[in-house]
Amino acid sequence: DQQVKQNSPSLSVQEGRISILNCDYTNSMFDYFLWYKKYPAEGPTFLISISSIKDKNEDGRFTVFLNKSAKHLSLHIVPSQPGDSAVYFCAASARGSQGNLIFGKGTKLSVKP
Amino acid sequence: GAGVSQSPSNKVTEKGKDVELRCDPISGHTALYWYRQSLGQGLEFLIYFQGNSAPDKSGLPSDRFSAERTGGSVSTLTIQRTQQEDSAVYLCASSQRGQVTQYFGPGTRLTVL
């Protein structure tokens, strides 16, 4: 059973507009969440993270929102740029775990010029 | 660069052969993780090393899979008697002690014919 779900396999956005990538989780023991970006033939690159004690974390064009009651987080990219086109993975870490991350299946973002 | 490196980048093998995949973590990172990504799937945790502690092997899919980490640095993932379902990208990541954020290598694409 998937503990981290990214229900949209793909998303297409116009350059300059906002991209919103969503992620849902089921395990209430998750206390840290991360977003990774992955280009073809490369490993995932860490993008931004959020602790469960916060509901928002911002870094430049990237903002992650966490709604613990809904077990939902989202990544906002604004303004979107063609170079943002990649697969975005949501990952979670559980309190007391060894630190291994549980990943969603990813959402492929295409930003059109 | 000082990132995680993996070798080989690509490996094609015949069913039944053994393969070894190598990972060099970021210098000073005590934790090392192996994941694999099969086509259309998220990253699947395989094994975790932390310092000199016994590894967490809970993600290894069968006893054909094993991993070592020598001297607390370089790690080798070995797959014996490879099967076609072992075809995937094998990713290595490392992190600093006490940190959740993991930094990934470029991966090894394994194809079992």
pLDDT tens-place string over residues B76-96: 999 999 999 999 999 999 999
Q: Which residue has the tokens 């979670």?
A: A92
Is A43's CB within 8 Å of B107's CB?
yes
Chain A neighbors of B104, CB-CB under 8 A = 36, 43-45
b/e map B52-86, b = 16+ CB within 10 Å: eeebbeebbeeeebebebeeebebebebeebeeeb
Closest chain A C-alpha to B1 CA, distance in angstroms: 15
Average pLDDT over residues A51-72: 96
Distance CA B75, CA A34 (A): 25
Q: Say which residues have a Cβ less than 8 Å from residue B29's Cβ, sequence separation at least 6.
A: B94, B95, B96, B103
Token pair of A103 as six digits: 């990943």
In the structure, what pLDDT confidence band is assigned to residue B1 with cuts at 50, 70 and 90? low
pLDDT tens-digit readout, A85-98? 999 999 999 877 76
3-state helix, strand and coil shares in percent for chain B, rounded to the nearest 5: 5, 50, 45
Q: Which of A48, A52, A100 to mutate to test the interface with B (most CBs of B within 10 A)?
A: A100
Whole-number pLDDT of residue B64: 97
Chain A neighbors of B48, CB-CB under 8 A = 98-100
Distance CA A63, CA A75 (A): 6
pLDDT tens-digit readout, B23-65? 999 999 999 999 999 987 889 999 999 888 888 998 999 999 9
DSSP three-state, residue A46: strand
Least confident of A31-40, A53-62, A63-72, B44-53: B44-53
Distance CA B48, CA B92 (A): 10
Closest chain B C-alpha to A33 CA, distance in angstroms: 9
Average pLDDT over residues A74-80: 98
